[in-house]
Structure 1
Amino acid sequence: MENTIDLEEPITAAKCSENLSSVEDAIYVIGGKWKLKIIIVLQESGSIRFNELQRNIRGISARVLSNELKDLELNGFVKRVVHAEQTPVVVEYISTDYSRTLKNVIIALSDWGKMHKRNIRTEAFLSQ
């Protein structure tokens, strides 16, 4: 299955470099094993406490989750809300409006992942 892309303008070395730089920046911020998983769970949950978030993301340690949440907060994807008026103090995490700008990217990645899995299964079946 071959896909062709109709380009509106020819790709120059400068444009290629700009695209690579932009993708590199995006991957730096949301890349890795856990960040997109955290963003997706937060978007689907609304607000969620740390332990519940950890239970929803199988395999992530508390230390890694804490570090990833700090990174996501620094980059504007997550907001940490402390309810100090309660005893014990309750801390919740919510996705920001900026985080929701990734919705189309997440949907596109999900669709591509499903297509890729089908292709791999089909190729594995055909090679038998």
Structure 2
Amino acid sequence: MKKPSERLSKNNETGDCQVRDALLIIGGKWKNMIMHALTIQPYLRFNQLKVNIPDISQKMLTQQLRELERDGLVNRKAYAEIPPRVEYSVTKLGLTLTPVYQVINQWQLLHMSEVIKSREDFDDSKS
């Protein structure tokens, strides 16, 4: 099975499926949390990211970082030291997503209580 970033539409050049493609690049809770952590603290090592996102597995963190790096949103810098040190940071392109995340955050601040209420009502109606 292809990774989300490998499933990007071949028709993207003609404008087809652009929203889907954009959501594959930035979507999912892990990428959002990684980008959030890196915008708060500009340089983080792998284990620091793991501490900031405690529910993510090492394998998933590695996979998500690689996809973000591949898409040009995150930079990985390896230092020639012993022990090896690797730092991650948001790229200039990645920083252009800050307004998107701010709008999403504002939306959740305004509407999350409604979503929670709707979920409770739905769950109550199904039990």
TM-score (norm 2): 0.76
Specify which of 29, 34, 38 is matched with residue 30 of structure 2: 34
Q: 1:100 to 1:121 in 2, by over 3 A?
A: same
CA distance in 1: counterparts of 2:116 and 2:66, whole angstroms: 38
1:61 equivalenced with 2:61 (yes/no): no
CA distance in 2: counterparts of 1:53 and 1:77, whole angstroms: 16
1:73-93 residue CA offsets vs partner (Å, 9 max, x unmatched): 000011110111x21111111
Match of 1:13 in 2: none
Match of 1:94 in 2: 89
Match of 1:44 in 2: 40
Q: 1:83 to 1:101 in 2, by over 3 A?
A: same
1:105 equivalenced with 2:100 (yes/no): yes
- Identity across aligned pairs (percent)? 35
By how many angstroms is 1:32 displaced?
Answer: 1.5
By how many angstroms is 1:68 displaced?
Answer: 0.4
Q: What residue ranges of structure 2 are gaps of 5+ in the alignment?
A: 1-14, 121-127
Match of 2:67 in 1: 71
By how many angstroms is 1:121 displaced?
Answer: 6.0
Amino acid at match of 2:92: D
CA distance in 2: counterparts of 1:32 and 1:72, whole angstroms: 12
Q: What residue ranges of structure 1 are gaps of 5+ in the alignment?
A: 1-17
By how many angstroms is 1:40 displaced?
Answer: 0.9
Structure with bigger gyration radius? 1
Q: 1:121 to 1:53 in 2, by over 3 A?
A: closer
CA distance in 2: counterparts of 1:50 and 1:27, whole angstroms: 24
TM-score (norm 1): 0.75
Amino acid at match of 1:42: L
Question: If each structure's helix is expressed as a fraction of its own residues, which one has the higher value?
Answer: 2
